[in-house]
Structure 1
Amino acid sequence: MGKRREGREAAVQFLFASELHGEHTPEEQEAFWTIHNAKNSVRTYAESLIQGVQSNLSEIDSLIEPVLENFRIQRLAHVDRNVLRLAVYEIMHVPEVPAPVIINEAIEIAKALGAGESGSFVNGILHKIAQKARPKSNI
């Protein structure tokens, strides 16, 4: 598994835990990284993604919510919601990574960490968002 994939998975796991447990003390954050046992490069990449998602959460959710069609973001499974948030952050704020790569990574993470149809669900939502956000990408 590559550094970026591992970093994305760690970021989703951290965001998931943060959502369930609320604010983390520095000791709790350090414990997460001890348990995750990530290399420094993976941790650095994951922390940049985590910070980006947390700093832009309202913007990210406002992009996801209209695409859900008769559904509220709070009703999504925690894993799916955080996979979507991470991928939307990357689509909007990490232009050097192609949208198809971001979407594919999100699908694989959703399959690995989510429930039965998570991969398909994430694919559909991200495809719609990426078409609007990056219309010139080959999505």
Structure 2
Amino acid sequence: MVLRPETRARARALQLLYAWEVQDRPPLAEVALELASGKDARRWQSGMALAERVAADVGRLDAEIARSAEHWRLERIGAVERNILRLGTLELLGQQTPPAVAIDEAVRLARWFAGPKAPAFVNGVLDALGRRLGRL
């Protein structure tokens, strides 16, 4: 399967954000060096740019997710799912990515990296957020 560059960037950003969160949020550059060691570091640049945008605005993203994830406290959401939601929320709040694409890509990440119930959960939260923002 050939993945679009944007999809690869999202997957790499998710890997960076997950490692960043479980390591108590060290500088993202350190996390990127760890993950990219022995590999072509250029491949991680687009993922790093996306991860940096999430990390810079994590408080706002988490607040938006909390408003849209009914009956779920943010800390109860698994780290993988939480970071997928952060990526999707970042894209829904921005205007560059069509809302349906942002949600579809987040659901795809959930299928690849999270448990079997995660895709439906991610879809539901991001759909609610998109509707609340008037983007859907």
1:118 is displaced (CA, Å) by: 0.5
What corresponds to 1:121 in structure 2?
121
Task: Name the residue aligned to 1:32.
Answer: 35
TM-score, normalisation: structure 2: 0.88
Which blocks of at least 5 consecutive residues in structure 1 are unaligned?
none
Aligned residues: 133
Change (3 A) 1:25 1:16: closer
Matches within 5 A, 1:1-139: 1-22=3-24, 23-24=26-27, 26-34=29-37, 37=39, 40=42, 42-93=43-94, 95-133=95-133, 135=134, 137=135, 139=136
Deviating beyond 6 angstroms after TM superposition, the runs of 4 or more aligned structure 1 residues are none
Q: Deviations over 1:67-112 (max 9, x none)?
A: 222221111011110000011011112x121010010000011011
Q: CA separation of 1:25/1:116 partners in 2, compared to 1, >3 Å: closer, same or farther? A: closer
RMSD: 1.8
Aligned sequence identity (%): 24
- In structure 2, what is the Cα distance between the partners aligned to 1:48 and 1:27? 14
Deviation at 1:24, TM superposition (A): 4.1
Q: Secondary structure at the match of 2:96?
A: coil
